[in-house]
Structure formats: C-alpha cells, structure tokens
C-alpha cells in the first residue's frame, strides 16, 4: 500500500513568495515548441586553470513512450571547448518544490556569482555586484543547470498536464528524463555523471536514482552532492506532536542562540558545544519527550533548565511550552527583547518584525535580505552575458508548480506519512556499490537542520563509509557566507576528484 504524504512545507513558502493560482481544468493541448540552442563563447579561470567554454541555453522535449510531448525542459549548460565524450558532467538543480536552479547557479556553482553581504546583512538595492567565480568546478566537470518543468523557462507542452510532473514521483521521473535527454543529445553515455541538489533538490536526487539507474536505458551515477539535505521529512517538520523534529532541531537552535550571544555562559568553541548538545539531545531530551506526562516533576524541571541553558529562551517559557520549542516560535522569541526575528533559512540574519508581540515571525529574514539580489542579478546575467532573450518569463519560483503540487497521486485508500526518499538512496547504493555521497549542512539552518541529516542517514541502512559529511557555520544556502562558500566549493572539488580517482 502506497501512503499519501503530509508535509509542513517551510522551504517552498520561504523561497517562493508567490501566491497560489487556480488550475485550469480545461482539456487543452499546448503548443509543441521548436528545438532551440542559444550558445555563447566565454573564457575564465577555474581551479587555477584558464578554460575556454561554451554556455548553451537549450530546450529538450520530454515525451511519453508513445512519442507524445508533455513538457519542454530548458537547461543551461557550461561545456569546456575541449570536452570529449568522456568528460565528467554534473547536473545541478535547486528544490522548492517549484524553485529554479537560480540559487546554486548564481550563488555557488556557476561561472559567475552575485555577491551579497557575507555578514548576514541586507543585500540592499540594484545594481548588484556580479563577479567571476574562480571556484566553479568547470576545470574538472561540465555543468548542466536544470530548471524542472514549471520553473525557469521550462514549461508544460503538448498534451502535458499538471499531474504529469507536479508530484514527488512525477517530478523525479521527469527530471531524470531531462538528464537522460541531455546525455543523449550530447553523446555523454560513457562519461562520469554527478548530481548536485539543494534542499528539496536532495529529496528529488534520491527519488531520481531508481529512474536513472533502472529502466530500459540504465545509467549509473558516480556521486551525489546533497546540500541542506531533506530526504526524510520526519526530522524537518517542526510541529507540536512530532517528537523527532524537536530533537533534530535542538542543536541548530542552540547554535543560533550562541551566534547571537544569548547564552549566559557563552561557549567559545562551536564544535565542542554542538557535541555537548547532541549528547543531551539523545540521552536526556528525547527520553523525556517520550515519557510525556509520566515524566517526574524533578526531571521536568531539570530538562527545562537545560533547554534554557542551551537555547537562550527563558525557563518559564519553556515550561509553559511543555519542553517543546517550536522552531517558528523560536525565530520570534530568541530576540524578542529587541523586537527582532532571526531567519529560518539562515538564522544568522536578524531584522525587526511588524508585530513585536506576535507568536511567529511574519516572514523569513534571510529570504527577504537576499532574494531580490539573486533574482535581479541572474536575469541580468542571462540576458546580457548569455544573450538569452526568450519571449517568456523566467520563473525563479514556478506559480503553476506551487498551485498544483501534490506529493502523492497514488490511487485508493492510503494513510498519511512524511515524505521520505532516503530508502531510494539506500537501495541505489546497494545496486551501485561505487556510488558516493556528499552531504553539506549548515549549523544555522532552521529549515533542514544538520542533526536531521545525521539522523536520516544513520537510520535508513545507508553505508556511512561511502558518505562524506561536511559542516559550515552558515545556513541553508551556506554559500552566501564567504568562508562557507570557499570551504564548500573546495569540498565539492575534492569529492568529485576523489570519486573520479576511485577513492
């Protein structure tokens, strides 16, 4: 029996900022577009190596088995001029669901990046600084940025309908088809292949593996880079009755309180402090939550005191909350004395809120600070540098995706459960014993907490000898912090290089 899915979707809300629109129920056929490629020549220095490359913005028609077109996927590829059929290629996408690849494209992995304040300050107004990215991986791999159907320039086409693509399995199947069609068009069947996804993009990456590595044209993947992983939503859904999320979020709440100087005995060393909080979380906090109302008064007071010590939240508040500090409330409560909120995507960010006595923050401080910069800079870049001037909007967040997304479209009776694609990753690693995984997490990410990454990978039968866990003193999009940007770029380069060397 397949289960339907419930998810307290923070990521899509924080990143999209868009309103739902009513779906069109009319049975209409959309135009089938002509194929196009917009190519431009460039030169840059990456990894210390000067490289000439082409940027190619082109479309791929997605077809069913009977040849009927259901979607037009537009990708942006960066291909070295001397690329042969065996040159490695990395496929990159963001998450949402409903997000285009703009964040990883313009923030981390593309040949150009937009600079935003590294100290979690507001990005201000246009014009924004667009600069070379010498840490992009073009010296060791070609890069293909995928905008799933309904995002970027990608659209439904032919007889395509929302139910063809706007769901967990449908999305995984269609994005896997985009990868396969790009490989087919560029003759890269025998090239090493990597996938890099962020946030829901990691949910997608795991769900794609059965479609890529199985079927009539099986294609093995060399490695998967998961940035701010979100495979099992049990640990990233902070609602009152979800005991697991209270546990997985606590170390991130503690890291945030330390960052903002809200702890009485301020720990000087983050790693040691996180180790201490992890230990308390597993050995004391989780058993206390499990006991519920049977917890003794003495133990209740002990846990409340420890939570106050680690989170900077007043002990009286914690007791009133029955030892459960919801993350949305924490973002509002931590700096309540100054009338400020902290960000969810990146808790280093802080700003004033309109309602100083409200229960939750009305918006995400991090998203508000940088989204405009990414949107404006990326659209300027593709129009003026890549010479792309298509007669359609570029959707950073797809309105049709957000309006029509259904996690599980299976028929018949089903019980609700959290989204979980970690078993697909575990199975893919069994079928492909050489598959390597890199998981990058930010300490100040209050959307996909780093402790959840550890919890998820540890409990789903995944061979941790083939997983490289990396951590950064930043948030969900850790590359907005300059030190984390450099460290993550170097870690990805080492991961791909070691994977290619068979190590």
**Tally of domains in the chain:** 2
What pLDDT is recorded for position 199?
Answer: 98
Of the ranges 179-193, 282-296, 407-421, 445-459, which one carries the lowest mean pLDDT score? Answer: 407-421
Instruction: Give 5's pLDDT tier (boundaries 50, 70, 90).
Output: very low
Instruction: Give 24's pLDDT tier (boundaries 50, 70, 90).
Output: very low
- Does 386 lie in the same domain as 361? no
- Does 258 lie in the same domain as 228? no
* 21: pLDDT strictly greater than 70: no
* 1: pLDDT strictly greater than 50: no
Give the mean model confidence (pLDDT) for residues 454-465.
94
Q: Which of 222, 198, 190 is nearest to 146 (CA)?
A: 198
What pLDDT is recorded for position 20?
Answer: 36
* 2: pLDDT strictly greater than 50: no
State how far the Cα of 141 lies from the Cα of 91, in Å rounded to an integer: 10
pLDDT in tens, 419-454: 999 999 999 999 999 999 999 999 999 999 999 999
DSSP E strands in 157-203: the ranges are 193-198
Global pTM reads 0.93
**413 domain residue, yes or no:** no
**437 preceded by cis ω (within 30°)?**
no
**398 domain residue, yes or no:** yes
What pLDDT is recorded for position 74?
Answer: 98
**333 domain residue, yes or no:** yes
- Contact yes or no for 331/363 (Cβ under 8 A): no
Instruction: Give 346's pLDDT tier (boundaries 50, 70, 90).
Output: very high
Of the ranges 20-34, 316-330, 354-368, 475-489, which one carries the lowest mean pLDDT score? Answer: 20-34
502 or 50, higher pLDDT: 50
Q: Of all residues in the chain, what percent carry a pLDDT higher than 90?
A: 89
DSSP 393: -
What pLDDT is recorded for position 361?
Answer: 86
pLDDT in tens, 92-148: 999 999 999 999 999 999 999 999 999 999 999 999 999 999 999 999 999 999 999
Residues in the chain: 503
Q: Would you say the C-alpha torsion 395, 400, 405, 409 has a positive or negative sign?
A: negative
- Contact yes or no for 174/182 (Cβ under 8 A): no
236 or 358, higher pLDDT: 236
- Contact yes or no for 457/232 (Cβ under 8 A): no
**419 domain residue, yes or no:** no
141 CB contacts (<8 Å, ≥6 apart)? 87, 88, 89, 90, 192, 194, 496
- Does 118 lie in the same domain as 28? yes
**97 preceded by cis ω (within 30°)?**
yes
- Does 115 lie in the same domain as 88? yes
- Does 249 lie in the same domain as 134? no
- Does 260 lie in the same domain as 198? no
- Does 277 lie in the same domain as 215? no
What pLDDT is recorded for position 27?
Answer: 57
pLDDT in tens, 52-105: 999 999 999 999 999 999 999 999 999 999 999 999 999 999 999 999 999 999
What pLDDT is recorded for position 360?
Answer: 87
**200 domain residue, yes or no:** yes
Instruction: Give 413's pLDDT tier (boundaries 50, 70, 90).
Output: low
* 49: pLDDT strictly greater than 80: yes
CATH number, residue 107: 3.40.50.1820
Domain's final residue, options 366, 382, 414: 366
* 18: pLDDT strictly greater than 80: no
**420 domain residue, yes or no:** no
What pLDDT is recorded for position 16?
Answer: 41
Structural domain including 246 reads: 239-366
State how far the Cα of 77 lies from the Cα of 213, in Å rounded to an integer: 22
């Amino acid at each position: 029996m397949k289960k339907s899915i419930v998810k307290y979707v923070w990521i899509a809300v924080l990143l999209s900022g868009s309103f739902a629109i009513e779906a069109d129920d009319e049975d209409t056929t959309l135009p089938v577009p002509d194929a196009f490629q917009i190519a431009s020549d460039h030169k840059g220095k990456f990894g210390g190596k000067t490289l000439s490359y082409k940027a190619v913005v082109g479309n791929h028609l997605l077809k069913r088995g009977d040849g009927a077109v259901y979607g037009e996927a537009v990708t942006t590829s960066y291909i070295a001029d001397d690329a042969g059929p065996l040159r490695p290629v990395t496929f990159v996408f963001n998450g949402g669901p409903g997000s285009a690849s703009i964040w990883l494209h313009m923030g981390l992995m593309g040949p150009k990046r937009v600079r935003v304040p590294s100290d979690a300050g507001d990005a201000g107004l246009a014009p924004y600084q667009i600069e070379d990215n010498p840490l992009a991986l073009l010296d060791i791999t070609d890069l293909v940025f995928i905008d799933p159907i309904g995002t970027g320039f990608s659209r439904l086409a032919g007889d395509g309908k929302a139910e063809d693509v706007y769901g967990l399995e449908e999305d995984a199947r269609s994005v896997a088809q985009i990868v396969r069609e790009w490989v087919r068009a560029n003759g890269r069947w025998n090239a090493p292949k990597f996938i890099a996804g962020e946030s829901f993009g990691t949910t997608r990456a795991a769900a794609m593996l059965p479609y890529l590595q199985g079927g009539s044209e099986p294609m093995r993947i060399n490695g998967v880079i998961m940035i701010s992983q979100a495979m099992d939503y049990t640990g990233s859904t902070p609602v009152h009755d979800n005991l697991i999320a209270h546990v997985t979020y606590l170390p991130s709440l503690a890291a945030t309180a330390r960052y903002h100087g809200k702890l009485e005995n301020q720990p000087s060393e983050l790693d040691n402090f996180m180790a201490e909080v992890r230990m308390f979380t597993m050995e004391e906090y989780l058993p206390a939550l499990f006991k519920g109302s049977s917890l003794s008064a003495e133990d209740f007071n002990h846990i409340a005191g420890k939570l106050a010590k680690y989170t900077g939240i007043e002990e009286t508040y914690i007791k009133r909350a029955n030892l459960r500090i919801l993350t949305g409330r924490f973002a509002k409560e931590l700096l309540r004395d100054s009338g400020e909120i902290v960000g969810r995507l990146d808790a280093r960010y802080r700003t004033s809120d309109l309602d100083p006595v409200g229960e939750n923050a009305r918006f995400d401080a991090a998203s508000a600070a940088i989204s405009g910069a990414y949107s404006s800079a990326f659209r300027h870049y593709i129009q003026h540098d890549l010479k792309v001037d298509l007669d359609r909007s570029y959707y950073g967040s797809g309105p049709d995706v957000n309006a029509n997304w259904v996690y599980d479209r299976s028929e018949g009776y089903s019980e609700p459960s959290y989204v979980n694609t970690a078993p697909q990753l575990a199975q893919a690693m069994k079928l492909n014993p050489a598959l390597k995984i890199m998981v990058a997490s930010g300490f100040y990410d209050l959307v996909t907490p780093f402790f959840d990454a550890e919890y998820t990978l540890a409990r789903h039968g995944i061979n941790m000898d083939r997983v490289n866990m990396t951590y950064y003193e930043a948030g969900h999009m850790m590359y907005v912090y300059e030190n984390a940007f450099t460290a993550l770029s170097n870690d990805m380069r080492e991961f791909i290089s070691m994977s290619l060397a068979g190590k």
